[in-house]
Amino acid sequence: MEPVRISKLMAQRGLCSRREADAYIERGWVRVDGKIVNELGSKALPNARITLERQAARRQTDKVTIILNKPVGYVSHQSDQGYRLAASLIQARTQHRTAHGGGPVFDPAHLRGLAPAGRLDIDSQGLLVLTQDGRVARQLIGDDSSIEKEYLVRVEGRLSAGGLALLNHGLTLDSQALRPAQVQWQNEDQLHFILREGRKRQIRRMCEQVGLKVVGLKRVRMGRIVLGDLPMGQWRYLRDGERF
């Protein structure tokens, strides 16, 4: 077995992101087979035992994950220049709190390093996850992620012969086969999608291939987290005990 960078091993195992791993290593918060490692770029065998010191574990516990009901007209990523960022909606006045509480009171420190875990384009609405925790991001959008994403999709046009079967399995995007999906009619003008991947504008492009135009798209679930009754444009913290 060839040695691998420790930061890469940590990210592969879901301990943290590679950037976080480098920061923890630099601070001497990582042990490999019981020994502290504090040199960036250090390598270890793929089967090495890697553990975090209490300082790193405490820092991870302090990281927040936010569930936002994104409206149409906001983009999820900074790279989409000239548009309003979904993260700009994370403010004290837009936090959704109920009689049962809404998690911690908003702290501006929770905006530092907050990044979307998955894309939801400007014309789409619904559940968008933003997180400071690299483990959550990898779980949702890592190359090996199998987390289900559920959508309600309004369409126009005439579905081609065999189109529904192709939406379920058989289409390609950018010369790459798509994973099997679960697609069925919700009503006469709305499809119900469950995907286990998230290519750019995937559902819109899938529908175009079978003669349909998407006129409305709403994400309602990621893994075990549902949008529920979270009002449009408001957000809440991922609660203790909630898991994707």
pLDDT at 244: 92
Q: Where in the chain is the domain with CATH 3.10.290.10?
A: 4-61
Q: Which fold has domain 149-222?
A: Alpha-Beta Plaits (3.30.70)
Alpha-carbon distances of 140 from 48, 147, 239, rounded to whole Å? 25, 6, 17
pTM over 0.95: no
Token output for 185: 């009619």
Judging by beta carbons within 10 Å of its beta carbon (0-12, 13-18, 19+), is residue 72 exposed, middle or buried? middle
Lowest mean pLDDT among 48-52, 190-194, 228-232: 48-52
Q: Which CATH architecture has domain 4-61?
A: Roll (3.10)
Q: Which CATH architecture has domain 65-144+225-237?
A: 2-Layer Sandwich (3.30)
Tell me the pLDDT tens digit for each residue of 14-71: 787 788 888 889 889 899 999 999 889 999 999 999 988 887 766 666 788 999 999 9
CB 212 within 8 A of CB 163: yes
Q: Where are the alpha helices (DSSP H) in 193-241?
A: 202-209
Q: Which of 121, 123, 143, 240 is catalytic?
A: 121
CB 45 within 8 A of CB 1: yes
Is 121 among the residues known to form the active site? Answer: yes
Q: Where in the chain is the domain with CATH 3.30.70.580?
A: 65-144+225-237
pLDDT at 82: 76
